[in-house]
Structure 1
């Protein structure tokens, strides 16, 4: 993956044809009795029209619960209805969410230079397309939490055909300027709040009474509080006057909120309506799980978490061992009381509702909630997650939110696995900058909480060095890798498994720098020390595989064959047939066979490694392109010229589409294709030998604990 400056802007292949108009990202459904807020819309439209193309972006700024996202959703829904060519809805609480959504949009519109392999580069290519296209478009950036993070990612339109609408709770100067104007969004006007209640309660006789205006005022005209109240009244057949008495009688309940929790001025109303609705939901929930489920959801991403999380064993165990059907019933009850939203495969909770729930959650329960949420996310995470990009992005976003809401509770005793799983997912997704930031943050927090010499701290630094290597910062990667080795030798001793893994990483780096002889000696010593330390086969597989490759590279083919065959047998026995590392292990054996003259066996193994890679990683994964290239080489070497040329044609086309025409992988494929047509048959081996060592040779700290499944927690939402 390349830096932003290397984004390719030429069209790689002929477009397949875009079916306009497009909607990328799900625009939230409008709430029942949604109020159009004519006066506010007039202000937004006026700002939009002030400077024609100069004022491209309106930033809707206001406190939580005032309806910013609903207002943006109404504009997006209107754009869809009017047939605007492209509407993009991007959650913007985290930069990676924006990058992922922009990359997806770039693929959908077939923007020049989009490859599907590097999300950051694809997102940049999409921005370049937005700037120059004459098609009408609307991009919504919902809930910007860090203006500095999104700086440089604001869409612009040089043709005047596009418009950006952003929402945020912040009043930050960095959100304005550069064609961006702030529009303040406050609570409903009094007549809008009363109109909402009348419309929402219209189908139930007797609920709208003479107290409707007074109730709207008592709720501060706040849309979220009005929604809580309306759902309660409808479910219980309670009119405005009766609910007003409940609200005023329960005001003391809201005093559980500390003064610091009401910085926006809305916490008291939300706390009161929330607790009234939550109490009613608890009575209506036969399983008695309402408080526990809502409390757990409050620690996750308000933009949505997978509904499947509530069927995970770790979550169900923490909820008292109930079944998934019982939890679904509880979720429906909470949905009926407007405390959260069950929308297809996602569960959402309003950010202000979540905050109020967290504020009234007893301190002693918070660690249990945090760990249960982390267990659920970790359990649902697919391995590998590359073929499930959308799900992986949602899980990473939820992990980021959980990291903030849980504070340091995820670090008792030494860091939850989901923190590291999110980091490796960022690396695999090609989000190099985000991965570096993630691992740098983990390394800093680990050092603060656990100390600079703790194994987890050293593991985070190891993975940070891998991020530097991916970004091409070889010097920093080498320096950090060597420093980790020094610390591990001093703290853990030379024979500790983590020390041996660090030495193996240094050997990989040395080999990558071209010092193969030195790398062979170091890798042999690492394996010898590992055998003396009693390491299991699983722990030594990557290092042994790297040594087999090194033997082949330096001409020790016989030893390479023997070692590679043993490794493949151990890999199949230890890892199982569906492990994503197996295609690489088979390809190493195939390479050794080809160098040893066992050509037919080599071809058969290469065919199987390609089939497994396509099955496990998906047909468009970058590693699949590599497997196809080498299979074409093997076909060519054994005289199956037609199959070789056909496969290379396909590989080059896919490489241009996925990586771009100037990517080193694409250029290498083209070079090899040219050599295949050359009469000097011996040249193909020289080209194949110039490939970089596989990423699988790097030994980061894994995100799986010995023993497998995360531990079962107690029940959240209680003091036990």
Structure 2
């Protein structure tokens, strides 16, 4: 006879009952993401891990070739695979000041290596900060070695380990380009935590090559086995050859002495020469006439000197930039190039999504900046002006083409997530023309433009990463503007996106900083401050720290009641969240009592059909069921469901949650078969609406397995949990509290299945 099992059955997994709501509900008008009782967790959308992508494979976008790319001595040195001493070159570092063409040299090297067929894998990384490096490695890991993109750091580690040749495996010939490293410390993750510290430098391998471009000259960049290549200005001969080739491509020939003099005026700076060549080609001016314009403009712009350049080059670039912008603004659609450049100057130099710069909010700004379209000189009223002559998406696109035509940006429409690249010195020159007031106004327009392009559910991970990179760039250039007169919604969306992408530590750090700044600028009781604290509490709940989440909601509630009163919508919503957290911590009776006291206040203030009121009814029924009144909970949830469908629709996540809780309470009330069948029906709808890896879908699968076992099919429960455990490990990680609970449940139902089959199994006494 089988021994009686002493393992205790684990209860079903809870349906989520609190969250941070989207920015569109009642509290959003106050600034931040509102704290709400709407049941809807962070949308972690993960795909099933595909088979590794076959070689050859490229990750990242190589910048397009510059017009009339100039062959230089550095090109030959880059392609020399062995030093004079016979040592193989595995890592090379291109260093030099801005505007000398480091990125173009790296791009030429990468394209040549790829076209020659000597590479299996090419990874181009924009390395201006640590997060895009980790994200690029994580993408490579997901595509090449089945790493889980839900955990970017682990995926990045797996990719770096994969680069090292393994015995018995086909070696991979790879090239990794880290373009524009701004700080060597960005290539070390968790430097102060020896247990988690790791380097983002690719490993030394006889099959691999690493190329870095940077303005920095820190010793940390030039260790053993890394060849340093200094990139300077063009030589006079290279400058003359560049200008000659650029003009010859358009059928023009100019006197050599005039081209040499123009190159000297521009200090042989490649970036300034590119501006001049584009201007000469587009305008038809002679070099002599352009030199006269340049000299006059340089005198007028004596104070406009971009950083990272000697005085002569700075003045020359500023003058060339000014003439090019002026020329671009005359091209059709006239008057739109310069304001478009304003927007690009505050975003990510390494890639701006086209949809951001052609969004409705961006086009309104373009229209308001064009005096022929906007009568009123103060353009910042444009959101209220209905008389503005509209700028169409086609005209916004035309403004990008005009800037590209004058070499002010690199516009690649075929790469929509990184359609616009712009040199940092051009960004700096553009920002320096903006008054402090205009600078802040452009920053807020840019923030709204990013928000307009940000999807509610991040199914496109490349787009999400590009939007995060642009938000980081905007924050770097104009953080103060995003806290005036209140916290911009973009900062809350950025934190949520970090959480959705699995970067929990980064999300927590961002929200702590957001809360601290909001507290110092706006005060501890401002709704934006409280929203940030509420966001942080919800993030802690999702990470499994329910006690920390409860403390966060309690802090928010005390502040809201003190500042705004007990009947403020924030107060009511936060009371729901806090009470629900008490229930999740084990005090279901106390939670039910608190929610019962809350419900009449919500009905009076918000109304019977308000989503938060409906959520409180849901949570009250759920907590009463957990406290022992399962039949009453079944009835209350059944009565609530028609109201949910009427107000929100049958496919709304809250409605689906209502159905899930109703099924759970049916099981608690003794109808295990009915619960299992209801959860099976619900699972189909959740996969259709939310996706197979959404947290609610995974919870549904766990609950279905539990009640399947309670209905008399322990083997079926165990089988269902095997698949769930694999998916939870992939999506959430092996150490997540829900993954651990699934593992325990699997062991329990396997033991029950063995006992049912008459197998003595293992004595767990």
- Superposed, 1:64-103 pairs within 5 Å as 64-81=98-115, 82-103=117-138
Q: 1:333: Cα distance to partner?
A: 1.6
* Counterpart selection for 2:284 from 237, 240, 243: 237
Match of 1:60 in 2: 94
Query: Take 1:547 and 1:176, find their aligned partners in 2: how far apart are those partners?
Result: 63
Please, which moves more after superposition, 79-88 or 271-280? 79-88
- For the pair 1:269 / 2:312, whether they are aligned, the reply is no
Q: 1:105: Cα distance to partner?
A: 0.9
Query: Take 2:423 and 2:334, find their aligned partners in 1: how far apart are those partners?
Result: 24
Change (3 A) 1:673 1:372: same
Change (3 A) 1:576 1:335: farther
- For the pair 1:204 / 2:239, whether they are aligned, the reply is no
Match of 1:282 in 2: 329
Change (3 A) 1:415 1:667: closer
Change (3 A) 1:673 1:89: same
Q: 1:383: Cα distance to partner?
A: 0.9
Match of 1:118 in 2: 151
The answer to whether the 8 Å contact 2:622/2:661 transfers is yes
Q: 1:359: Cα distance to partner?
A: 0.9
Query: Take 1:224 and 1:578, find their aligned partners in 2: how far apart are those partners?
Result: 54
Match of 1:154 in 2: 200
Q: 1:398: Cα distance to partner?
A: 1.1
Q: 1:443: Cα distance to partner?
A: 1.5
Match of 2:443 in 1: 370
Q: 1:675: Cα distance to partner?
A: 5.0
Query: Take 2:552 and 2:135, find their aligned partners in 1: how far apart are those partners?
Result: 29
Query: Take 1:443 and 1:629, find their aligned partners in 2: how far apart are those partners?
Result: 35
- Superposed, 1:159-170 pairs within 5 Å as 159-170=205-216
Change (3 A) 1:314 1:629: same
Match of 1:558 in 2: 631
Change (3 A) 1:261 1:99: closer
* Counterpart selection for 2:527 from 430, 440, 455: 455
Change (3 A) 1:238 1:399: same
Q: List per-residue Cα deviations over 1:672-710 (Å, max 9, x = no partner).
A: 455555656999xxxxxxxxxxxxxxxxxxxxxxxxxxx
- Superposed, 1:479-498 pairs within 5 Å as 479-498=551-570
* Counterpart selection for 1:336 from 402, 405, 413: 405
- For the pair 1:624 / 2:658, whether they are aligned, the reply is no
Query: Take 1:274 and 1:236, find their aligned partners in 2: how far apart are those partners?
Result: 15
Query: Take 2:670 and 2:427, find their aligned partners in 1: how far apart are those partners?
Result: 65
Q: Which has the higher contact order (CA 8 A, sep 6+)?
A: 2
Query: Take 1:443 and 1:182, find their aligned partners in 2: how far apart are those partners?
Result: 43
Query: Take 2:311 and 2:124, find their aligned partners in 1: how far apart are those partners?
Result: 26
Q: Secondary structure at the match of 2:606?
A: coil
Change (3 A) 1:352 1:451: same
Q: List per-residue Cα deviations over 1:218-245 (Å, max 9, x = no partner).
A: 2222222122122112222334333323
Please, which moves more after superposition, 452-461 or 534-543? 534-543
Change (3 A) 1:441 1:660: closer
Q: List per-residue Cα deviations over 1:624-665 (Å, max 9, x = no partner).
A: 333344445556666799987876565455445545667655
Query: Take 1:651 and 1:455, find their aligned partners in 2: how far apart are those partners?
Result: 40
Match of 2:69 in 1: 34
Match of 1:408 in 2: 480
Q: Structure 2 regions of 5+ residues with no counterpart?
A: 1-47, 190-198, 368-389, 757-765
Change (3 A) 1:594 1:416: same
* Counterpart selection for 1:189 from 224, 235, 242: 235
Change (3 A) 1:517 1:190: farther
Query: Take 2:165 and 2:597, find their aligned partners in 1: how far apart are those partners?
Result: 57
Q: 1:574: Cα distance to partner?
A: 4.0
Q: 1:52: Cα distance to partner?
A: 6.0
Q: 1:453: Cα distance to partner?
A: 2.4
Match of 1:138 in 2: 175
Q: List per-residue Cα deviations over 1:3-31 (Å, max 9, x = no partner).
A: xxxxxxxxxx9983540122111122222
Q: List per-residue Cα deviations over 1:199-254 (Å, max 9, x = no partner).
A: 22222233442222222222222222122122112222334333323322322242
Q: TM-score, normalised by structure 2?
A: 0.78
Match of 2:41 in 1: none
Q: List per-residue Cα deviations over 1:546-582 (Å, max 9, x = no partner).
A: 4343333333223322443455444444444565555
Match of 1:352 in 2: 425
Change (3 A) 1:517 1:167: farther
Change (3 A) 1:255 1:593: farther
Change (3 A) 1:608 1:479: same
Change (3 A) 1:498 1:237: same
* Counterpart selection for 2:265 from 204, 218, 228: 218
Query: Take 2:306 and 2:348, find their aligned partners in 1: how far apart are those partners?
Result: 24
Query: Take 1:661 and 1:34, find their aligned partners in 2: how far apart are those partners?
Result: 50
The answer to whether the 8 Å contact 2:511/2:536 transfers is yes
Q: Secondary structure at the match of 1:63?
A: coil
The answer to whether the 8 Å contact 1:56/1:156 transfers is no
Q: 1:266: Cα distance to partner?
A: 4.0
Please, which moves more after superposition, 659-668 or 282-291? 659-668
Match of 1:296 in 2: 343
Match of 1:109 in 2: 144
Query: Take 1:14 and 1:309, find their aligned partners in 2: how far apart are those partners?
Result: 30
- For the pair 1:318 / 2:365, whether they are aligned, the reply is yes
How much is the aligned-residue C-alpha RMSD, in angstroms?
Answer: 3.6
Q: List per-residue Cα deviations over 1:120-173 (Å, max 9, x = no partner).
A: 322222233234554232222222334434323413425443333233334445
Q: Secondary structure at the match of 2:457?
A: coil
Q: 1:107: Cα distance to partner?
A: 0.9
- For the pair 1:436 / 2:508, whether they are aligned, the reply is yes
Query: Take 2:549 and 2:347, find their aligned partners in 1: how far apart are those partners?
Result: 33
Query: Take 1:658 and 1:219, find their aligned partners in 2: how far apart are those partners?
Result: 54
Aligned residues: 667
Change (3 A) 1:621 1:469: closer
* Counterpart selection for 1:610 from 683, 691, 698: 683
Q: 1:526: Cα distance to partner?
A: 3.7
Q: List per-residue Cα deviations over 1:45-68 (Å, max 9, x = no partner).
A: 689898968x85444333322222
The answer to whether the 8 Å contact 2:174/2:208 transfers is yes
The answer to whether the 8 Å contact 1:52/1:160 transfers is no
Change (3 A) 1:76 1:44: closer
- For the pair 1:19 / 2:66, whether they are aligned, the reply is no
Q: 1:296: Cα distance to partner?
A: 1.5
Query: Take 1:375 and 1:610, find their aligned partners in 2: how far apart are those partners?
Result: 36
The answer to whether the 8 Å contact 1:44/1:58 transfers is no
Q: Secondary structure at the match of 2:155?
A: helix
* Counterpart selection for 1:306 from 353, 360, 370: 353
Match of 1:692 in 2: none
Q: 1:600: Cα distance to partner?
A: 7.2
Query: Take 2:682 and 2:83, find their aligned partners in 1: how far apart are those partners?
Result: 55
Q: Secondary structure at the match of 1:319?
A: helix
Change (3 A) 1:14 1:430: closer
The answer to whether the 8 Å contact 2:79/2:109 transfers is no
Q: Secondary structure at the match of 2:301?
A: helix
The answer to whether the 8 Å contact 1:63/1:264 transfers is no
The answer to whether the 8 Å contact 1:267/1:356 transfers is no
Query: Take 2:311 and 2:131, find their aligned partners in 1: how far apart are those partners?
Result: 27
Match of 1:693 in 2: none
Larger-Rg structure: 2
Q: 1:457: Cα distance to partner?
A: 1.3
Query: Take 1:166 and 1:261, find their aligned partners in 2: how far apart are those partners?
Result: 19
Change (3 A) 1:85 1:206: closer
Match of 1:706 in 2: none
